Structure 1
Amino acid sequence: MWLHAEVNGDPRAYTLQLTYALEGRVDPDALRAALDGVVRRHEALRTGFRLTAEGLVQEIRKVADCPVELATAPPGLDEQSAELHTREWLAAAAARPFELDRPPLLRVHLLRLAPQRHVLLILVHHLVFDGWSAGLLLAELSADYRGLTVRREEAQAPAAGSFRRHVLAEAARLAAGAGARNLGYWTARLTPPPGRPPLVLEPAGTGAELLAPPPAEPFALGAEASDAVRRLADEFGTTEFVVTAALLACALNRLHGPGPVHIGYPTSTRGPEEEGTIGLFLNTLVLVVDVRDEMTLAELVLAVETAHYDALDHRPLEADRVAAAVPAARAGGDSLYQVMLAFQNLPPAVLDLPGVLARPLAGPDRAAEFDLAVSVEATAPVLAGWVERDGRSLTSADTRTLLAALDALACGAVVVGGGGVVGGLSVLGVGDVGLVARVNGSVGGFGFRGLAGVVAGWGVVAGGSVAVCGVGGVLSFGELDVRAGLVAAGLVAAGLGGGMWWGLRWGGGLIWWWRCWGCGGRGLRLCRWMWSIRWSGCG
């Protein structure tokens, strides 16, 4: 992570943010003293990183005061102007990078809007902090602030666990042989088999979205799909994470092309003695999911579960060493994976300052670390969370299409059960298939009567533009592959969405969805395999 943080052009990519609107009297001096107490107790917050001739060195300072920067909004701002000023202030504060060799890698900003109205922004570098640590930091900050302003008590005792001991123990374990064993496992696991390269998310559009980081977007699977994930986990005797990872890999294959899917996912290395210790106790592992149409659903889920437990047995994954050993792990990029899937299981993070109402705010937009990151919080009654993307490979419409496909796959999977064939699952819901099937008549040439109605009526069906072809002659798969190029070229020439999507209909149902890149094409089968396909001429 240190290397990625140093070369990443946007300092926000590895900066975690906690943002609150504060209503009530705030004592800045007590806030500063309380933060200094938290830093004093936790070694990770006093840790810096320096590159030497021998490699990267972590240095823990004995003393490191927490910077608290105070600002005051111009007087007389109306509500709208105050909101705009706050957003600009948040963005400017978050855009400043940390100097990784100068701890603490924690910085706090306090904006005074009125005598009893403030905005608090806590910034901390991911190198020394994880999601679990957020709850610890806020709890200790609250307790120390209360002690200083109400009870006048002394600071809390030092943390029971030690970040330094954890780092040293992990280094000793790797040096004793685990490092070489793990490197061998991950090198073999992430080396693509001959003729089976991993799936690569292609660049999307012109890159205009890179002018600003796309904001994180909330999502929620439907109640039926969420229930389906839980029922499937019970049926297969596994976790909701494993089922979701299997379905996500299937959706990515259907929407973005064939090949093994590499999905990164964070795992905790925090032991019981470190549950009260702030620090980065995470290691990101990689699931390699080779989705094949002839697999049963039970076989796919078992493959994901097996890969998950094998990965846990070979922690940590030292990404830089593995990437150097597997230079072709992902063609066209320098990462071992483009997609991150995180299931959050964190203690509540609550800021409780006496006499102050603290309300969480959405922080400034930050650059995504990956092409796609799906963060799931298993909240009843549905699976919900956030989606982040860096804007280079996926548009907002792409992520909506992917989540709709994930929803449809979950609903379909629970119907067919473990014996159902993966190739028979549809990425379109029943309503979507019906919508496409309602386009009347065969489509000839490139006029595509009814196309605009389909796209406008339910954009997520296509994710771009769509042509629905009726019943006609018969083409072999090879002939169809050639014809796909002609269809793609025709769509481009007609100015229909850049030739992105078209489909084939068999009777009243859509059986094939085709995504075309340039003048080539890739198949996306929605229903069970068919050796020949009826065709209606398109040019």
Structure 2
Amino acid sequence: MRRHPCHPNRRTRTGEDHAGALRRRNRTANGGGVLLNGTGGGGPAPLTAAQRRLWVTEQFNPGSDAYLIDAVIRIEPGADPALLEAALNDVAAAHDAFRTEFGWDDDGDPAQFVRDRVGLPVPRVHGPGTPAEPFDLERAPLVRFRMVCRDNTATALELVAHHIVFDGWSLGILVRDLGLAYDARKAGGRADLSGRPGMAGFAEAEAAWLAGPEGRERVDALAGLLRGAPGLLAVPTDRPRGAQQPDGGHAGAGLHFTLPWELAHDITEFARERRTTLNMVGLAAFSAVLAHWSGSDDIVVGSAFAGRTSLAAERCVGCFINVVPLRLAVDTEAPFDTHLDGVREAVLRGAEYQDVPFDRLVEALNPPRSLTHNPLVQVAFGVQNTEPATYDGGIRLTGEPAPDDDAEARLDLTLWLEERPEGLKAIWTYRKDLFERTTVARLNQWFFRTLRQGCLDPSAPPAAPARS
């Protein structure tokens, strides 16, 4: 399985908690932000900033599987295989992402093209699939399905998609529209899936906005917030830094830990009482640990936002996720709740800038480049929404990311929190060339202790990491 830096297989609470404010802003006549209507023709159309980043990565390492998304859609009580395949092709006809391929326009710039028709073959199998073949981005479709059948009944769909046309939010759209299409087919009709927006229109709108005065002003404003921040979060490493791999990543590993349900509940209640979110409280604890660990009071943490700042974007299958660097001033001698107030403001401010592409920000700041680390952001944090994508009509569909045990480390260190029935799960991904497993395990203990103490006694300074 593959994992990529912001793990777009799931929606992050960071983006969801504050998306409403962005949508309200975008509905106003002069509210600012790129007004994405999602219209567009068959191409050639420009790439969005997020797509361009993935396209460039592919040019350096063709056929890489680092940006493939795996998911499973479970079907209850089961579906007619022929009707399900027909419904899936109805969805492909409605959403451009399933018919999009990438190449070059007449000026030699990367472009996306939407085919009028793409046959979506759905092979039928009787057990879990084998590792997916890489995609050729110049040939649609960039999504593949396998239908798991038992006794001539479809019980699941396995999905592999390239991230350039799909993200975690897209899974929910697919599940809903597939359910509508299947129920309509079973009733002898066809679902009305017209009017689904496509990425080409968003790319055109984004390009025009970024080239205009408002877009340039927004990029400059966010760059101003980050100017002067350390280019590298200099935490102690177990080994010297080495150069990145051709696709921009490093061999990585993952560690999972769970905070018991009772304590997780107390932390969630603390966040509610403080009129914050679990994401903000967790980020306050994480950044405090990083400040102690690095010896710096100026911390930059990457935060993944859904990037869907309009109602049209919420209905589009595609890749919208964006990373916003959050700059946090951490006074390790100040009370935890004072630090939490600063984090809350930084997260809300970051949400307001989620329409500024990360790559444009790097261009504006032009930090010194190094093959040993990513520019601007080397660590990231977020809270994942683990609720599965569901459709409950004549048929019940449940879509979830496939289990992901391997890790591709595109940053030095990432921490994602998941709310689970058994407690709060911490998912760490780290560069194996920098850190030992035992170091990350100790870091997790420090984080949990800081989180626990911050919620139990918020008037005290954040807990200093224990040192061995």
* Fold shared, TM-score > 0.5 on shorter chain: yes
Distance 1:147 1:120, change over 3 A: same
Q: Which residue of 2 aligns with 1:304?
A: 343
Residues 1:340 and 2:380 aligned together: yes
Equivalent residue in structure 1 for 2:413, among 352, 362, 372: 372
Distance 1:389 1:65 in 2: 40
Which residue of structure 2 lines up, in the alignment, with residue 421 of structure 1? 461
Q: 1:217-296 alignment to 2 at 5 Å?
A: 218-223=256-261, 225-234=263-272, 236-255=274-293, 258=296, 260-270=298-308, 271-296=310-335
Whether 1:402 and 2:456 are equivalent positions in the alignment is no
Find out whether 1:349 has 2:389 as its counterpart: yes
**Pair 249,319 (structure 1): closer, same or farther in 2 beyond 3 Å:** same
Aligned to 2:134: 97
In structure 2, relative to structure 1, the CA distance for the partners of 1:182 and 1:285 (3 Å cut) is: same
Aligned to 2:118: 64
CA drift at 1:132: 1.9
Aligned partner of residue 92 in structure 2, secondary structure: helix
In structure 2, what is the equivalent of residue 322 of structure 1?
A: 361
Residue matched to 1:185: 221
Q: Is the 8 A contact 2:229 2:300 kept in 1?
A: no
TM superposition shift of 1:122: 0.3
Which one has the bigger helix percentage? 1
Distance 2:267 2:368 in 1: 34
Say if 1:227 and 1:360 are closer, same or farther in 2 by CA, change over 3 A.
closer
Checking the alignment, whether the CA contact within 8 Å between 1:24 and 1:117 is kept in structure 2 is no
> Once the 2 structures are TM-superposed, how far is the Cα of residue 107 of structure 1 from its aligned partner?
1.0
Contact conserved, 1:90 with 1:121, CA < 8 A, in 2?
Answer: no
Cross-structure match for 2:212: 176
Instruction: Using the TM superposition, give the Cα deviation of residue 138 of structure 1 relative to its aligned residue in structure 2, in angstroms.
Output: 1.6
How many pairs align?
A: 405
CA separation of 1:364 and 1:245: change in aligned 2, threshold 3 A: closer
The answer on whether the counterparts of 2:142 and 2:162 sit within 8 Å (CA) in structure 1 is yes
Indicate the residue corresponding to 2:233 in structure 1: 198
Q: Distance in 1 between matches of 2:332 and 2:313?
A: 44
Matches of 1:237 and 1:349, distance apart in 2: 27
- Contact 1:182 1:317 survives alignment (8 Å): yes
Matched residue SS, 2:414: strand
CA distance in 2: counterparts of 1:417 and 1:364, whole angstroms: 35
CA distance in 1, matches of 2:240, 2:263: 31
Closer, same or farther in 2 for the Cα pair 1:9/1:201, shift >3 Å?
A: farther
The one-letter code sitting in structure 2 at the alignment partner of 1:250 is A
Aligned letter for 1:152? G
Task: After TM superposition, give the deviation of residue 411 of structure 1 in Å.
Answer: 1.7
After TM superposition, list the pairs within 5 Å mapping 1:378-393 onto structure 2: 378=419, 382-384=423-425, 386-393=427-434
Q: In structure 2, the residue corresponding to 1:29 is in which secondary structure?
A: helix
Take 1:228 and 1:4, find their aligned partners in 2: how far apart are those partners?
Answer: 42
Listed one character per residue, the Cα deviations across residues 74-103 of structure 1 (whole Å, up to 9, x for unaligned) are xxxxxxxxxxxx4xx432x2xx22222323
Structure 2 distance, partners of 1:404, 1:259, is 21
C-alpha change, 1:393 and 1:174, in structure 2 (3 Å) is: same
- Secondary structure of the structure 2 residue equivalent to 1:412: helix
Amino acid of the structure 2 residue aligned with 1:411 = R
Q: Measure, in 2, the Cα distance between the counterparts of 1:113 and 1:21.
A: 13
Unaligned 5+ segments in structure 2 are: 1-52
RMSD of aligned Cα (Å): 3.9
- For the residue of structure 2 that corresponds to 1:13, the secondary structure is coil
**1:482-519 deviation line (CA, Å, top 9, x unaligned):** xxxxxxxxxxxxxxxxxxxxxxxxxxxxxxx26xxxxx
Question: 1:287 Cα shift?
Answer: 1.1
Shift in Å, 1:357:
9.2
Matched residue type, 1:294: E
2:182 is aligned with 1:145: yes
| Secondary structure of 2:315 counterpart | coil
Q: Distance in 2 between matches of 1:13 and 1:50?
A: 20
- Alpha-carbon deviation of 1:284? 1.7
Aligned 1:37-76 pairs, distance under 5 A: 37-52=90-105, 53=107, 55-71=109-125
The one-letter amino acid of 1:14's match is: Y
Provide Cα deviations, 1:105-152, integer angstroms capped at 9, x if missing partner.
Answer: 21112456876687632011222222222122122223323433x322
- Matched residue of 2:301: which SS? strand
**CA distance 1:421–1:360, shift in 2 (3 Å):** closer
CA–CA distance in 2 between the matches of 1:138 and 1:294?
A: 48
Shift of 1:382: 3.9
Shift of residue 406, structure 1, vs aligned partner: 1.7
Q: Is the 8 A contact 1:213 1:365 kept in 2?
A: no
Paired with 1:365 and 1:381, the residues of 2 have a C-alpha distance of 19
Quick one: distance in 2 between partners of 1:401 and 1:4? Answer: 33
CA–CA separation in structure 2 for the residues paired with 1:9 and 1:259? 40
For the structure 1 residues 55 and 300, does the alpha-carbon distance in structure 2 shift closer, same or farther, using more than 3 Å as the test? farther
Look up the match of 1:81: none
Distance in 2 between residues matched to 1:353 and 1:371, nearest whole Å: 44
Would the aligned equivalents of 2:63 and 2:135 in 1 still touch at CA under 8 Å? Answer: no
| Aligned with residue 86 of structure 2, among 24, 33, 38 | 33
Cα deviation for residue 405 of structure 1 reads 1.6
User: Which structure has the higher relative contact order (CA within 8 Å, separation 6+)?
Assistant: 2
C-alpha contact (below 8 Å) 2:233/2:300 kept by paired residues: yes
TM score, norm. by length of structure 2: 0.72
Instruction: Say which one has the larger Rg.
Output: 1
Q: After superposition, what is the alpha-carbon deviation per residue over 1:63-84, rounded to whole angstroms, capped at 9, x for unaligned?
A: 22324344567xxxxxxxxxxx
Say whether the 8 Å CA contact 1:187–1:326 is kept in structure 2. Answer: no
| Residue 188 (structure 1) shift | 3.8
Counterpart of 1:451 in structure 2 is none
1:213 deviation in Å?
6.7
Describe the shift of the 1:358–1:295 C-alpha distance in structure 2 as closer, same or farther (beyond 3 A).
closer
Letter in 1 for 2:451: A
Quick one: structure 1 residues 358 and 312, their matched pair in 2 at CA, closer, same or farther if it must change by over 3 Å? closer
Aligned counterpart in structure 2 of residue 129 of structure 1, from 150, 166, 177: 166
Paired letter, 1:109: R
Q: Secondary structure at the match of 1:12?
A: coil
1:322-381 deviation line (CA, Å, top 9, x unaligned): 334433388931343222223234764137797899796844645434343333334568
